[in-house]
Structure 1
């Protein structure tokens, strides 16, 4: 699970579904129901999932940053320059 700060919800890294429960029991219930095979993944498989997820998040952040720049609302650093 990852945290989506925009919606203030957990998001499943396997399927992208937003989780309305922040409890460990809610997370386990989703995994047991939707992705029971992920509980026994090898370390390399887990690492691949995390790397893929991180790349998707980075791509979304770059997209939204470029959209903000195009519309004049780019975030800036403390020196007044645009943040990449």
Structure 2
């Protein structure tokens, strides 16, 4: 029985190792921005955005510092933010 438990434990460790440490990466990414304090520099506290749908995905058009207009996907289904302080 001890041999079976040891074999199962080794198999579990091997499977976790081969998974690319997804759990570790998810936890790292989930808390990556906990210390970031959002700053809004605009005069308005609200802005109306026009959504465009391509298929079933919502997009907005945006510019940063009068550069080329970009089409940005609005993704509200993520379990963590993908924006980082830079």
Q: Normalising by the residue count of structure 2, what TM-score does the alignment of the two structures yield?
A: 0.28
Q: Which has the higher strand share?
A: 2
Higher relative contact order (CA 8 A, sep 6+): 2
Q: Which has the higher helix share?
A: 1
Q: Normalising by the residue count of structure 1, what TM-score does the alignment of the two structures yield?
A: 0.28
